[in-house]
Amino acid sequence: LLKRIQIIDTCLQRRIVTNAVEPSNVLKNEDNGEQEGWKAFDAIQLERQEQAERSVLISCHSKTNEKKFLKYLSIHGDIKNSFFYESYGTYAVVEFANQESIASLHEAVNLPVVSNESVVPFKSRLLSLRSLGAAVVPNSQTGPKCKPQATIPLTELIQRLSKEESIDHQVTSLMKAYQVTEENTRLRFLVCSLLKDIAAAYFPECNVRPFGSSVNGFGKLGCDLDMFLDLDSISGRNVPMPKAGLVLEYQMKRSNSERAVTQSILTVVGECVDRFGPGCVGVQKILNARCPLVRFSHQPSNFQCDLTANNRVAMKTSELLYLYGCLDGRVRGLVFAVRCWARVHSVTSSIPGAWISNFSLTVMVLFYLQGRAAPLIPTLDHLRSLAGPADKSVIEGNDCTFVSDLSKIQPQDNTETLEQLLCGFFHFYSTFPFARKSINIRKGKEQTKPEVVPLHIQNPFEVSLNVSKNVNAAQLERFVALCQEGAWQLEQSATLTRGTGHAPSPWGLAALLVPAAGTPGIKGRKKRKREPASERIKSLLESLKNKV
């Protein structure tokens, strides 16, 4: 009976976690068995892209009268969806029901009137609303209600979580507060669509697709926007070659490597974004990176953007993470909690360096879940064995095949709570034999390390690569020490009597998210024991040694 109660409790818990999340990626699956409303990754991408192509982004006055504004725009056609948000000013995202409305709008939009300046006559779907003379769109007293596009402050989050009654509820609450929302997802796809219009100046049939945490289900409000310039649909590429007879082919400039071609493409597209892209500022071309990219800031959306090309493996990786996240609500919950904990304690950072990346950390969580006594998720090899002919995918010689249909994956019978899983995660990595073993989600079992590096995590698809090659010994040691502390803190929480009232003291996940002493902005936390100076100097020297 106890076992059955536990199972029912876990199932309810699963539902709480999955249902509480805004359907940022149209994710409505509950248990694995019930997949009503579940959509395959590619289907969601297509739907979102199509939605974005029918949308415009309009800068407007903060007191704009929403009703009159929408009425004014509806002369171009029915409006399907709209919302306002604050960035550098107030903006509206307006989605028309039909594509023709965009053409109609373009006909009616004026060129800006400027004095002492000149404009680049590039007509995009980023517009400004002006009120002239007797205002066509009179302002209201209060202005439109804006949808938040940023996370609440950490102190507020900690207070909120401290009031929850269980760690499982805390995780749900964390996701509700921090996860990329429906509106934020729409905005991400719209920015990609605006970028596509710029890149189309050179490659009319190109596509720009988001990948990484914008679409893999683990995105936090404010995360960067990773974009992939997809040129695969350029017509003629996949036309079958006849066996005999005449054939016409394009004359194309040749280069000595794919990498050189990618660099040339990103050079010109980067230049275009810099010179003609409205709202795109601080453009940097980082072409010598392992994966060449153009980095810039898209001011109207406040997104930090990374535009790459020829990066289909990363797209496939995003799909894999999305699939794992859809298998069970606890996967997303745990990844989310661990990623937030890691960010607060500077295990991860928004700047690249010798530390663990969010991507590596996510793979570590998945690996841990595969290794539970009752595994929560299957191995990548198992997902590969379930793949159908349509799932076959080989990218640059790498086998990226895995099943894309959730219904083909048998539900796992793990009944652990998020509290148990979180605690287990910290214990697992507190004692993991990093010196000898490699983390491998393809096999779901630790493997002998193929090279001498502090942390080895096999790249799921490019199996000869280590996704955590950048991590130095000092950062790994810090991670392990923080895991030990995390396990200890959770054990303390289990035995503590929780505070009540308006501001109970942080416990459980909330306590884990309290930054260490010395971090500004957080008051009233307990001072932690610092490691001896000799240890800190040793770790600093180690980190410097690894940077050289």
Q: Which of residues 277-306 bind Mg ion (CB under 5 A)?
A: none
We find the least distance from the C-beta atom of residue 359 to Mg ion, in angstroms, to be 8
179 is an interface residue for ligand GTP by CB under 6 A: no
Task: State the nearest-atom distance from the C-beta of 340 to ligand GTP, in Å.
Answer: 11
193 binds, among ligand GTP, Mg ion, none (CB under 5 to 8 A by kind): none
The stretch among 201-209, 212-220, 489-497, 521-529 that binds ligand GTP (CB under 6 A) is 212-220
314 binds ligand GTP (CB under 6 A): yes
**Residue 209 lies near Mg ion (rule: CB under 5 A):** no
Tokens of 235: 């017509």
Strands 79-87 and 225-230: unpaired
Listed ranges 50-58, 221-229, 248-256, 521-529: which one lies at the site for ligand GTP (CB under 6 A)? 221-229
Q: How many CB atoms sit inside 10 A of residue 389's CB?
A: 6
Comparison of 344 and 423: residue with beta carbon closer to ligand GTP = 344
Count how many residues are written for the chain: 548
Residue 399: phi and psi, rounded to 5, are: -75, 110
**Contacts with 435 (C-beta within 8 Å, 6 or more apart), sequence order:** 449
- Say which entry of ligand GTP, Mg ion, none residue 317 contacts (CB below 5 to 8 A, set by partner kind): ligand GTP
Could you say whether residue 459 binds ligand GTP (CB under 6 A)? yes
For Mg ion, how many residues bind (rule: CB under 5 A)?
Answer: 4
Query: Binding partner of residue 359 among Mg ion, ligand GTP, none, CB under 5 to 8 Å per kind?
Result: ligand GTP
State both tokens at 403: 């099943």
Pairing mode, strands 303-309 and 447-448 = unpaired
C-alpha dihedral sign at 302, 308, 309, 312: negative
Confirm or reject binding of residue 462 to Mg ion (CB under 5 A): no
417 CB neighbour count, 10 Å cutoff: 18
Select from 50-58, 110-118, 207-215, 413-421 the region that touches Mg ion (CB under 5 A): 207-215
- Taking the alpha carbons at both ends of the chain, their separation in whole angstroms is 60
Question: Contact between 212 and Mg ion (CB under 5 A)?
Answer: yes
Tell me, residue by residue from 332 to 371, as one string, x for binding to ligand GTP by CB under 6 A and - for no binding.
Answer: -------------------------xxx------------
List binders of ligand GTP among 463-492 (CB under 6 A). Answer: 467
Contact between 415 and 6 (Cβ < 8 Å): yes
Dihedral class, residue 253 (left if φ above 0, else alpha if ψ from -120 to 50, else beta): beta
Pick between residue 185 and residue 317 the one whose CB is nearest to ligand GTP: 317
Q: Does residue number 168 form part of the binding site for Mg ion (CB under 5 A)?
A: no
Among the listed ranges 46-54, 211-219, 336-344, 461-469, the one in contact with Mg ion (CB under 5 A) is: 211-219
| Residues linked to residue 496 through DSSP beta bridges, in sequence order | none
The partner in contact with residue 314, picked from Mg ion, ligand GTP, none with C-beta cut-offs of 5 to 8 angstroms by kind, is ligand GTP
CB of 346 to Mg ion, least distance (A): 18
| Among 66, 226, 230, 319, interactor with Mg ion by CB under 5 A | 226
Q: Per rule CB under 6 A, is residue 318 in the interface with ligand GTP? A: yes
> Which of ligand GTP, Mg ion, none sits in contact with 262, Cβ below 5 to 8 A by type?
none
**75-94 positions binding ligand GTP, by CB under 6 A:** none
Figure out which of the listed residues 95, 164, 168, 226 binds ligand GTP, where binding follows CB under 6 A. 226
Matching residue, tokens 């209060």? 142
**CA-CA-CA-CA dihedral for 103, 105, 111, 112, to nearest 10:** -140
Q: With binding defined as CB under 5 A, does residue 506 bind Mg ion?
A: no
Contact 380, 402 (CB under 8 A): yes
- Residue 197, classified by CB atoms within 10 Å of its CB into exposed (0-12), middle (13-18) or buried (19+), is middle
Give dist(CA 163, CA 150) in Å, integer: 22
The DSSP line for 266-289 is HHHHHHHHHHH-TTEEEEEEETTS
Q: Does 213 bind ligand GTP (CB under 6 A)?
A: yes
Q: What secondary structure, in 3-state letters, does 109-136 show? A: CCCCCCCCCCCCCCCCCEEECCCCCCCC
Helices (H), 328-450: 329-344, 358-370, 380-385, 418-430
DSSP label of 221 = T
Stretch that binds ligand GTP, among 211-219, 384-392, 508-516, 533-541 (CB under 6 A): 211-219
Cβ-closest position to ligand GTP? 212
Of the two residues 319 and 328, which places its CB atom closer to ligand GTP in the complex?
319
Of 265, 355, 353, nearest in space to 310 by CA? 265
According to the binding rule CB under 5 A, does residue 86 interact with Mg ion? no
**Listed ranges 146-154, 227-235, 309-317, 370-378: which one lies at the site for ligand GTP (CB under 6 A):** 309-317
Size of the site for ligand GTP (CB under 6 A): 17
Q: Which is nearer to Mg ion, 112 or 282 (CB)?
A: 282
Return the closest-CA partner of residue 91 out of 47, 141, 129.
129
Under the binding rule (CB under 5 A), the answer on residue 224 touching Mg ion is: yes
CB-based contact 430:483 (threshold 8 Å): yes
Binding flag, residue 318, Mg ion (CB under 5 A): no
Rounded least distance, CB 395 to ligand GTP, Å: 11
Q: In terms of CB distance, is 318 or 401 closer to Mg ion?
A: 318
- Strand pairing partners for 225? 305
**What, of ligand GTP, Mg ion, none, does residue 84 touch, CB below 5 to 8 Å by kind?**
none
Instruction: Supply the DSSP symbol for 408.
Output: G
Q: Rule CB under 6 A: which residues touch ligand GTP? A: 211-213, 216, 223-224, 226, 313-314, 317-318, 357-359, 459, 462, 467
Q: Which residues bind Mg ion (CB under 5 A)?
A: 212-213, 224, 226
